[in-house]
A = this chain, B = another copy of it.
Amino acid sequence: MNVRYVLRQLGLLFIVLSAVLVAISGWAVIELFRGHGDERAPLVAFALAAGVVMVVGAGLWFLTRPTSHQLGRREALLLVALSWLVGALLAALPFYFWAHLDPSAGADHVFTSPIDCYFETMSGLTTTGATVVVGIDTLPRSILLWRAMTHWLGGLGIVVLFVAVLPSVGVGGKKLFRVEAPGPEPEGVTPHIRETARILWIIYLGLTVIETLALRLAGMGWFDAVCHTFATLATGGFSTRDASVGGFNSLAVDIIVIVFMILAGVNFGLYFQMIRGRFTSVWRDAELRAYLGILLLASAFVVVGIAGEPITLTTGETHAPSIGRAVQEGVFTTVSLQTTTGFCTADFDRWPFAVKALLVLLMFVGGSAGSTGGGIKVIRILIAFKVMVAELERAFRPNVVRPIKIGAGTVTPELRLGTVAFVLGHILLFGAGAGLLMLLEPEGVMTMTTAATASVATLCNIGPGLAKVGAVENYAWFTAPSKMVMCLLMVLGRLEVFAILVLFVPRFWRSG
- Write the residues of chain A forming the contact surface with B, with a CB cutoff of 8 angstroms: 73-74, 77, 170-172, 353-354, 357, 384, 387-389, 391-398, 413-414, 416-418, 420-425, 427, 435, 438-439, 443, 447-449, 452, 498-499, 501-502, 505, 507-508
Interface pair B353/A508, CB less than 8 Å apart: no
Majority-rule SS of A interface residues: helix
CB distance B395 to A77 under 8 Å?
Answer: yes
The reply to whether A395 and B498 contact each other, CB–CB distance below 8 Å, is yes
A–B complex contacts, Cβ < 8 Å, 7 sampled: A73-B396, A77-B396, A171-B395, A395-B498, A395-B502, A416-B417, A424-B424
Q: Which residues of B contact A74 (CB under 8 A)?
A: 396
- A438 near B392 with CB under 8 A, answer no
With A384-B424, A424-B424 already in contact, the answer to whether A171 and B396 are too (CB < 8 A) is yes
**Of all chain B residues, which has the CB nearest A431?**
B427
Give the residues in chain B near A423, CB-CB below 8 Å: 424
Q: For residue A499, which residues in chain B have a CB less than 8 angstroms away from its CB?
A: 395
Contact of A449 among B396, B418, B448, B498 (CB under 8 A): B448
CA distance A498 to B394 in the complex (A): 9
Kindly state the separation between the CA atoms of A353 and B441 in the bound complex, as whole angstroms.
11
Report how far A502 CA is from B389 CA in the complex, Å.
Answer: 9
- The answer for the CA separation of A505 and B402 in the assembled complex, in Å, is 14
Instruction: Tell me the minimal C-beta distance from A503 to chain B in angstroms.
Output: 10
Q: A391-B422, A420-B420 are in contact. List 20 more A-B contacts (CB 8 A).
A: A73-B395, A77-B396, A170-B398, A171-B395, A171-B398, A172-B395, A353-B443, A354-B439, A357-B435, A384-B424, A387-B417, A388-B424, A391-B418, A391-B421, A392-B501, A393-B505, A398-B414, A413-B417, A417-B420, A424-B424
Residues from chain B with a CB closer than 8 A to the CB of A389 are 505
A421 with B418: CB separation less than 8 A: no
- B residues within 8 A CB of A398? 73, 170-171, 414
- Write the chain B residue with the least CB distance to A446: B353
- Chain B neighbourhood of A394, CB < 8 A: 414, 418
B502 lies within 8 A of A439 (CB): no
Q: How far is the CA of A499 from the CA of B435 in the complex (A)?
A: 32
Q: Determine the distance from Cα of A507 to Cα of B439 in the docked complex, in whole angstroms.
A: 46
B388, B413, B448: the one within 8 Å of A448 (CB) = B448
Contact with A424, one of B393, B420, B443 (Cβ below 8 angstroms): B420
Cβ contact within 8 Å between A439 and B508: no
A282 to chain B, nearest CB (A): 27
C-alpha spacing A288/B162, complex, angstroms: 43
Of the listed residues A353, A420, A439, A498, the one surrounded by the most CB atoms of chain B closer than 10 A to its CB is A420
In the complex, what residues of B have CB within 8 A of residue A508's CB? Answer: 393, 396
Please determine whether A392 and B448 come into contact, CB atoms closer than 8 angstroms. Answer: no
Instruction: Please report the C-alpha to C-alpha distance between residue A44 and residue B400 in the assembled complex, in whole angstroms.
Output: 51
A435 neighbours in B (Cβ, 8 Å): 357
In the complex formed, the residue of B with least CB distance to A76 is: B396
Chain B residues near A439: list those with CB within 8 A. 353-354, 357
Inter-chain CA distance A393–B172, complex, in Å, is 11
**Which residue of chain B has the shortest Cβ distance to A434 in the bound complex?**
B357
| Min C-beta distance of A329 to chain B, whole Å | 21
Q: Give the most central of A387, A448, A449: most B CB within 10 Å.
A: A448
Residues of B within 8 A of A498 (CB): 392, 395
